[in-house]
Each structure stands twice: as C-alpha cells, then as structure tokens.
A and B are shown apart, each in its own frame.
Chain A
Amino acid sequence: DTGVSQDPRHKITKRGQNVTFRCDPISEHNRLYWYRQTLGQGPEFLTYFQNEAQLEKSRLLSDRFSAERPKGSFSTLEIQRTEQGDSAMYLCASSSPRGYEQYFGPGTRLTVT
C-alpha cells in the first residue's frame, strides 16, 4: 500500500497526558498537512510542511501542539497536557510539488478521558 499512513489509528488517553501521532506521506510527496476533524464537522487546517519546513500554522494550533518533519519525510504531531476538547480525528494529507490533489490518510482518532 503506497498511500498515506497514520499511526496509531486510535488513541485513548487521560487528561493531562502527552500524545504523539505519526504520519507517513506518499513517498514522492514533498507537501504534508495536518487537519483536525470533530464529529459531524469538516476537517480544519492545523499546519503545513513543504519538505522539512513548517510554512503555515493555524491559530487552532495552540502552544500545546507541536508538529515536526525533521527529514522531510514522515511527520509527528505532539499534543502536550491533553484536554477533553482535544478529542477529535487527526488527519494527515500529502501532495506532490505540482499537484492540486491532497491524499488523506485514515486518521488517528484521539479520545481524551
């Protein structure tokens, strides 16, 4: 399978704990995006990487959130001191340098208890 992969698919954590998600984009894609989606809503943009550079960050991305893409390949999204409001599906997408199309991964569903 050469699509976008995300790990884990599900994460249950207690409030106050830190969590980290991983995204592996399609191999030749240099652009990588993180989105958050709450139940019944469309995804909301969080941040965007071109290669290893984080070029855009949404105001939704509070200080407790940090994303990295150290070698321009896979990316991690860390949430520190999780809150119940962080419960959502976290989606990763990637696109090629010349393409409009963003290809989405299956998402990581986070539940904060």
Chain B
Amino acid sequence: KNQVEQSPQSLIILEGKNCTLQCNYTVSPFSNLRWYKQDTGRGPVSLTIMTFSENTKSNGRYTATLDADTKQSSLHITASQLSDSASYICVVNRDAGNMLTFGGGTRLMVKP
C-alpha cells in the first residue's frame, strides 16, 4: 500500500526556535515530493516541490531535504514565527501530476 507517514503528529515550539518535521513514504514509483502548509480552515499552499534528483530545496525560512534511497524527507523551519502555526503536509506524487498521496500532517504551534 502506498503510504506517507509524518512525525511528530503535533509540535509546540517557542517563537524564534527552529524545528524539523519528518516524512517517510513507501509510494512507488516516485515522481516528486511536496511540502504544503495548511492554515486552519484553508486550503493547502505549496512550500516546496522536489524531484528524484534533488536533495534539498529552500523557500525562505523553509528548507526541505529528500533522501530517495531511504524514502525520507524533512522540512526544517528556521527562526519560527507565530504565523508558522499551521499543519504541514508531506505529499508524494507517483505519476508526475495526477495522483497525490498525502500524509496526515504535523500540526505546529508556535508560542510567543
């Protein structure tokens, strides 16, 4: 079964601190991996997309890594802000466009 597992399920950090979210997947074949940010009650917004050949990609304070051999990805958030409070969802694409498999998300809360 194609699965995407994320950890931790939830995380509380203080404003200004860094954190790292994990994603393990068994989806095969693999086309690309995405990280989305979803604010409560809103649709997901893409942060990064990485293909098989990319090991790391940054978007401002967000840096995603990918190890296609071990089928693991991480999302590192630097110098967290209150507005980073959201769910972060790891998504794996099997066939370059149509079928996305979503993880359950990590709910991040940044406290002042």
Contact = CB atoms under 8 A, between A and B. Distances in A.
B36 to A, nearest CB: 8
Nearest to B51: A100
Contacts of A44: 102
B60 interface: no
A105 to B, nearest CB: 5
Given A41-B104, A91-B43, A101 B98 contact: no
Interface residues of A, number: 26
B99 A56 contact: yes
Nearest to B89: A42
A33 B32 CA distance: 18
Contact of A107 (B43, B89, B93): B43
21 contacts: A40-B105, A41-B104, A42-B102, A42-B103, A42-B104, A43-B89, A44-B102, A45-B99, A48-B98, A56-B98, A89-B41, A95-B97, A100-B31, A100-B32, A102-B46, A102-B100, A103-B46, A104-B43, A104-B45, A107-B42, A107-B43
